[in-house]
């Protein structure tokens, strides 16, 4: 069993990102701890998971000391250890002492521990966990304004990564038919996928290529293409639909509907689409005869909430 410490920024989206990649649907969610019967190893793919742990036990405050004394700590111990307690930090030193007493030749290392044990006090439960991975992805360094070629509406790289992961794709090709300056393509390339970017604007494609080369993404393909006239089939498609407050709503609606009808013809498995919240996306998807698998609201700022929709044909 594994525990995923999810970002509280959007727990529903964070949870679904893990479930999509782990190919699991049965889970336990305690606050922002997602517990799964899995042996997921592709930790670096995840955007909204802070840490990954192995589950050691689930206890409660009344039985915790007994459960700590009965647990075989020697089995997980490597070289040295430390204990981190969340939700009841005053007990950290006392509880670490019980673990110390169960080990042969114990050593403590608070900064670079080889055996980092976490206890989470949440909702009358205490969850014991062994830290396996801390997410150190440098998404902030890839924000749109830090790229060689800027486009103001480009997605935050963390969100772009999550949209890719929501498809459940493990390897292979993934298409962004409105690729803009390449934010989604960059994240796809950094996860060893083969990104394909279409855009109707030739100048934008040149900007995309500059950005992809800057982040050393190699196995990509770019093409000047009207997204409403694609004829090639794709298993996985991810895009953030273009919009502008200055564009008439009826013009955007027409563009989106035409694209979605094309998507119906070319999509083989799953698409993840970002819509602006001022568009009736459910009506458009229904007209296109596509199916909504899941949907999420993602707050960007006071003037816009992104609607993220997982779609199948």
Flag whether pLDDT at 247 surpasses 70: no
Helix (H, G, I), strand (E, B) or coil at 96: helix
Q: Which residue carries 């502008």 as its tokens?
A: 244
* pLDDT level of residue 304 (50, 70, 90 thresholds): confident
- Please state, in angstroms and rounded to a whole number, the distance separating the CA atoms of residues 115 and 64: 20
Domain total of the chain: 2
CATH number at residue 12: 3.30.2130.30
Helix (H, G, I), strand (E, B) or coil at 139: helix
**Domain end position, chosen among 134, 158, 177:** 134
Examine the domain organization and report whether 82 and 228 are in the same domain.
no
Judged by phi (left if over 0) then psi (alpha if -120 to 50, else beta), residue 287 lies in alpha
pLDDT computed for residue 138 by the predictor: 87
What are phi and psi for residue 185, nearest 5 degrees?
-65, -40
- Please state, in angstroms and rounded to a whole number, the distance separating the CA atoms of residues 213 and 192: 14
What's the CA angle centered on 239, arms 238 and 245, to 5 degrees? 160
Examine the domain organization and report whether 123 and 158 are in the same domain.
no
For residue 245, with 0-12 CB atoms within 10 Å meaning exposed, 13-18 middle and 19 or more buried, which class applies? exposed
- Please state, in angstroms and rounded to a whole number, the distance separating the CA atoms of residues 147 and 94: 49
Examine the domain organization and report whether 38 and 175 are in the same domain.
no
CATH number at residue 151: 3.40.50.150
**Domain end position, chosen among 108, 134, 160:** 134
Examine the domain organization and report whether 302 and 161 are in the same domain.
yes
- Please state, in angstroms and rounded to a whole number, the distance separating the CA atoms of residues 104 and 39: 28
Examine the domain organization and report whether 208 and 281 are in the same domain.
yes
Tens of pLDDT, residues 248-300: 777 899 999 999 999 999 999 999 999 999 999 999 999 999 999 999 999 88
Examine the domain organization and report whether 125 and 145 are in the same domain.
no
Domain of residue 282 covers 139-312
User: Crossing angle of helices 11-22/157-166, nearest 10°?
Assistant: 50
* pLDDT level of residue 245 (50, 70, 90 thresholds): low
Flag whether pLDDT at 301 surpasses 80: no
For residue 188, with 0-12 CB atoms within 10 Å meaning exposed, 13-18 middle and 19 or more buried, which class applies? buried
Assigned token pair, 190: 């950094």
Examine the domain organization and report whether 281 and 299 are in the same domain.
yes
| Integer CA distances (angstroms), 206 to 91, 148, 154, in order | 57, 11, 15
Share of the chain above pLDDT 70, in %: 98
Helix (H, G, I), strand (E, B) or coil at 257: helix
Share of the chain above pLDDT 90, in %: 84
pTM of the predicted structure, to 2 decimals: 0.92
Tens of pLDDT, residues 44-70: 999 999 999 999 999 999 999 999 999
Helix (H, G, I), strand (E, B) or coil at 9: coil
Tens of pLDDT, residues 70-102: 999 999 999 999 999 999 888 899 999 999 999
* pLDDT level of residue 246 (50, 70, 90 thresholds): low
Examine the domain organization and report whether 118 and 162 are in the same domain.
no
> By C-alpha distance, which of 68, 36, 64, 65 is closest to 49?
36
- Please state, in angstroms and rounded to a whole number, the distance separating the CA atoms of residues 229 and 285: 17
Q: Decide: 224 and 200 in contact? Cβ < 8 Å.
A: yes
For residue 290, with 0-12 CB atoms within 10 Å meaning exposed, 13-18 middle and 19 or more buried, which class applies? buried
**Domain end position, chosen among 119, 134, 149:** 134
pLDDT computed for residue 238 by the predictor: 98
* Total residue count of the chain as it appears in this document: 313
- Please state, in angstroms and rounded to a whole number, the distance separating the CA atoms of residues 162 and 182: 15
Examine the domain organization and report whether 213 and 119 are in the same domain.
no
Examine the domain organization and report whether 204 and 231 are in the same domain.
yes
Flag whether pLDDT at 194 surpasses 60: yes
For residue 174, with 0-12 CB atoms within 10 Å meaning exposed, 13-18 middle and 19 or more buried, which class applies? buried
Examine the domain organization and report whether 222 and 292 are in the same domain.
yes
Contacts of 268 (CB under 8 A, 6+ apart): 233, 234, 235, 313
pLDDT computed for residue 31 by the predictor: 94
Examine the domain organization and report whether 145 and 204 are in the same domain.
yes
């Amino acid at each position: 069993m594994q525990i995923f410490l999810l970002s509280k920024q959007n727990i529903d989206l964070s949870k679904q990102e893990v479930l999509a990649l782990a190919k699991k649907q049965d889970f336990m969610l305690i606050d922002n701890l997602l517990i799964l019967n899995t042996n997921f190893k592709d930790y670096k793919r995840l955007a909204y998971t802070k840490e990954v742990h192995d589950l050691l036990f689930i206890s409660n405050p009344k039985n915790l000391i007994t459960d700590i004394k009965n647990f075989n700590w020697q089995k997980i111990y490597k070289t040295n250890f430390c204990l981190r307690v969340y939700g009841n930090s005053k007990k950290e030193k006392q509880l670490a002492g019980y673990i110390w007493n169960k080990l042969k030749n114990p050593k403590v290392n608070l900064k670079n521990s080889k055996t980092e044990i976490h206890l989470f006090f949440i909702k009358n439960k205490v969850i014991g966990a062994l830290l396996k991975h801390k997410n150190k992805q440098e998404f902030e360094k890839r924000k749109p304004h830090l790229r060689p070629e800027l486009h103001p509406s480009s997605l935050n790289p963390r969100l772009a990564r999550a949209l890719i992961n929501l498809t459940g794709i493990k390897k292979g090709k993934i298409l962004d038919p409105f690729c803009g300056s390449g934010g989604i393509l960059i994240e796809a390339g950094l996860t060893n996928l083969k990104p394909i970017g279409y855009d109707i604007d030739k100048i934008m494609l040149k900007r995309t290529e500059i950005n992809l080369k800057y982040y050393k993404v190699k196995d990509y393909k770019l093409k000047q293409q009207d997204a409403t006239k694609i004829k090639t089939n794709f298993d996985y498609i991810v895009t953030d639909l273009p919009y502008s407050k200055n564009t008439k709503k009826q013009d955007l609606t027409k563009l989106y509907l035409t694209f979605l009808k094309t998507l119906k013809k070319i999509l083989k498995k799953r698409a993840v689409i970002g819509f602006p919240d001022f568009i009736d996306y459910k009506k458009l998807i229904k007209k296109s005869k596509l199916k909504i698998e899941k949907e999420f609201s993602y707050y960007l700022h006071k003037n816009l909430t992104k609607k993220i929709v997982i779609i199948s044909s």
